[in-house]
Chain A
Amino acid sequence: MQMAKKIMMKGNVAAAEAAIRGGAEFFAGYPITPSTETLETLSFRMPEEGRVFIQAENEIASINMVLGAAACGARAFTTSSGPGMALKQEGFSYAARMELPYVVMNVQRWGVGLGMLDSGQVDYLRDTRAGGNGDYRHIVYAPDSVQELVDDLYEAFDVSQKYRMGVLILSEGYLGQMMEAVELPPFKEIRRPDWGLDGTGEVGLKQLCPTYNMALAHELLPVRQERINRVCREMQRWESVETEDADYVLVAFGLPARVCVDAVRRLREEGCKVGLIRPKLVFPFPYDAFHRVNPNVRGFISVETNDLGQMVQDVALAAKRELPQRNVPVYCYTHSAGVPRVQDVVRYYRSVLDGAVKEVY
């Protein structure tokens, strides 16, 4: 078999191409750094493939256009970054009510309010919970390389339609801007679902979405719960590095996780029993990974590029659920903006050993 050619691609550009190959038929979005290259690429690639591209007048319009396309059964896609994602939250909530599938990529930038151009993982809590009003979730992928970003987007449209849920790709500024050698998958045949508005007026929202009728809320509760339960069972995905005998287990996603792989290697060379859990999805959180670590583990260390610690909450819940007999301390290294260096992670680990930092949970 001929080896697929590796080509250098920028994360944001590769994401656009992967979405097209994964079957994206409709894109509406609004430019915002550091996600804009995806929109720029789609602006010419979507028409080239006979698909629809719209640069909407703003973020809110773009998510509502995505809802419209999704209601017709189209594979719909949008992208944004922190502040733009904030504006889209109402749309996500409405999509959840109508059980509409779509894919959204958040190329996170660090900071609050307008934020900064720097990279960060500041939207974890919002994006893994319901960011808008009401009671819903996204399925949230957290790629750590341009190749995984490609693979995730390629799969995302199928997963979104399978569960009839929004899928969120949690990227970060540096991942969008950096280039890596990637292999692109072949074009998928676009499969339309057996539902969707068709413009005849014969299919309405109630037929489209059985749970739309809130008067039936109590009857439909099990349906809604079972959907999430299925996702939590079927989408447990992570990568473990030397956790079986680890005294301390780092937990990180995205680019900081790659730094942690190197940190584990360096610390192991020095005889320190350290491991890593890298969630590949952060909703559902990979609880199963925690079930398989050394039962005598002495602590978990969440490594994140924000200021207050966010994923550490899920790490603490996982430790409680999977190691219920032991109150395993959970620490958090908050690196703030950018990407930590290996020596930053190693230094924090040593400060845990020295007792210089206290556990968060």
Chain B
Amino acid sequence: MKEIIFAGFGGQGVLTGGLLIAELAARTQRNAVWMPAYGPTMRGGKANCVVKFGQTPEERIGSPVMEEADVLVAMNVPALDYLEYCRKDCTIFVNAHTVPADQQLPEQAVVVRLDCAELAQKAENPKGESLVMVGAIVRRLGWFDEDFARSAITDYFTGKGKGKYAAANVRAFDLGCQEVK
């Protein structure tokens, strides 16, 4: 089972970013759970979701809430509060646009920094910050095939009637991939 926390401000696409990862798992016939921050949090600007998925089609997901995440996506500084719910040796994907370079982070953690806002601009998709992050996650962690991810992202947005943004979304995804090599 893998557990990922996506956190940031409302509008940075953290709920969508998490949902795309969950979609990739579901589309490969695995059990996946997406639990959004909900209630007062949703109404205050801070946003997060936790995604859990099995590594085989048989694996069931127990607890649906944050327990010991393998990955934290921190789109801003307050998002780092969720390190409380992460393994000590977790991987932290940090949005370098909002999190300063000298930000203290746990020693055992693997840190991947990328400027999502700048890359999203470069992709001519300023709202695509979370797609940049999804690209970085897919490339860096190797949990999903990249071509499959591209087609799933296109399919997902097309299914929501937002097919005209598909190319820009894939561009943002690709720049995220390239940024982490």
Q: Which A residues lie at the B interface, using CB under 8 A?
A: 3, 6-8, 34, 116-119, 173-174, 177-181, 255, 258-259, 261-262, 265, 338-339, 341-343
Contacts and interface: CB of A to CB of B under 8 A. Distances in A.
B31 A181 contact: yes
Contact of A178 (B23, B31, B36, B62): B36
Contact of B38 (A6, A34, A180): A34
> Which 4 residue pairs across A and B have the least CB separation, nearest first?
A117-B39, A181-B26, A262-B62, A179-B34
A117 B40 CA distance: 7
Contacts of B105: none
Contacts of B19: 8, 179
B39 A178 contact: no
Given A117-B40, A174-B38, A341 B30 contact: no
Interface string B16-33: 000100110111011111
A118 B39 contact: yes
A7 B152 CA distance: 12
19 contacts: A6-B26, A6-B30, A8-B22, A8-B23, A118-B39, A173-B38, A173-B39, A174-B65, A177-B38, A178-B35, A180-B32, A181-B22, A255-B65, A258-B61, A259-B63, A261-B62, A341-B63, A341-B67, A342-B67
Contacts of B67: 262, 341-343
B35 A174 contact: yes
A6 B29 contact: yes
Interface in B1-55: 19, 22-23, 25-27, 29-36, 38-40
Contacts of B33: 178-180
A339 to B, nearest CB: 5
A3 B26 CA distance: 13
B100 interface: no
Nearest to B156: A8
B11 to A, nearest CB: 19
A8 B32 contact: yes
Contacts of B22: 8, 179, 181
A117 B30 CA distance: 30
Contacts of B66: 341
Per DSSP, chain A at the interface is mixed
A239 to B, nearest CB: 11
A349 B20 CA distance: 37
Interface in B123-172: none
B161 to A, nearest CB: 14
B65 A116 contact: no
A230 B50 CA distance: 42
A258 B63 contact: yes
B64 interface: yes
Contacts of B39: 34, 116-118, 173
Interface residues of B, number: 24
A266 B96 CA distance: 37
Contacts of B31: 180-181
A119 B63 CA distance: 15
A173 B42 CA distance: 14
B38 to A, nearest CB: 5
Given A177-B35, A258-B61, 8 more contacts: A8-B23, A8-B32, A119-B38, A173-B38, A174-B64, A174-B65, A262-B67, A342-B62
A181 B32 contact: yes
Given A6-B26, A8-B19, A8-B26, A262 B34 contact: no
B21 to A, nearest CB: 10
Contacts of A7: 26
Contacts of A178: 33-36, 64
Contacts of B35: 174, 177-178
B38 A259 contact: no
B13 to A, nearest CB: 16
A34 B33 CA distance: 18
Contacts of A8: 19, 22-23, 26, 32, 34
Nearest to B20: A8
A341 B68 CA distance: 10
A181 B19 CA distance: 11
A338 B38 CA distance: 10
B36 A177 contact: yes
A258 B32 contact: no
B17 to A, nearest CB: 14
Given A262-B63, A339-B64, A342-B67, A180 B34 contact: yes
B108 to A, nearest CB: 19
B46 to A, nearest CB: 15
A174 B29 CA distance: 23
A339 B65 contact: yes
A25 B27 CA distance: 31
A259 B27 CA distance: 25
Contacts of A181: 22, 25-26, 30-32
B24 to A, nearest CB: 10
